[in-house]
Amino acid sequence: MTLPEFFLKQKQNIRARSEDVFRLLRPEHLEWGPGNGAPSIGEMLRHLWVSEEGVRRVALDGNFAYYEKRIPGGLPAVLGGVATSLAEELRQIARVHQETLAAVGKLREEEWDKERVNDAIGFRRKVTVILFGINEHEVHHRAQLMTYLRMLGTPAPEPFAKR
């Protein structure tokens, strides 16, 4: 299995697990957050797709617009408003996921070793690291959503199958 094949398989498997969690979300959960500056569920869902789209552009196109806005302005600078519909946020998450799979599937294997650099924001990473970071980021926020759901009294899926 090549590195690109491994990435795509991992991304699909991570998404399948995330969808298990997404199915437990309800529209009334969108505005809920634990407080103390932590994002609401709606903000987290919006952040998932906006960041994946922006970070994918860094990796594939060398387009740093997402980070150039996110770093000085914080998360609100890139979210573009509040989530108003669970269905719409999940549709956007699915759209961006499919776009990432398609775009990365076309990426030539030698491109994975290229480096993306933006000295103004102190960024220097290989395309491989950036792309696998997208997967890691989704796992991180899936775990956050599971914690939020437990706080709301909704049993969340176990991270490992019981035998």
Give the number of domains in the chain: 1
pLDDT in tens, 55-74: 999 999 999 999 999 999 99
Tell me how far apart the alpha carbons of residues 31 and 121 are, in angstroms, rounded to a whole number.
32
In-domain check, residue 78:
yes
Reported pTM: 0.93
Model pLDDT, residue 159 = 62
In a domain, 158, yes or no: no
* CATH number of the domain where residue 98 is located: 1.20.120.450
Cα 161 from chain centroid (whole Å): 23
By percentage, how much of the chain surpasses pLDDT 90? 91
Do the domain assignments include residue 159?
no
User: What per-residue confidence (pLDDT) applies to 136?
Assistant: 98
Domain assignment of residue 31, given as a range: 3-151
3-state secondary structure of 118: strand
Asked whether the predicted pLDDT for residue 37 surpasses 80, the reply is: yes
Would residue 160 count as lying in a domain?
A: no
Burial (0-12, 13-18, 19+ Cβ within 10 Å), 158? exposed
Amino acid in position 80: G
Residue 163 included in any domain:
no
Distance between CA atoms of residues 58 and 71, nearest Å: 14
The reported pLDDT for the residue numbered 155 is: 81
What is the C-alpha end-to-end distance of the chain, expressed in Å? 28
Q: Does residue 48 lie within any of the structural domains?
A: yes
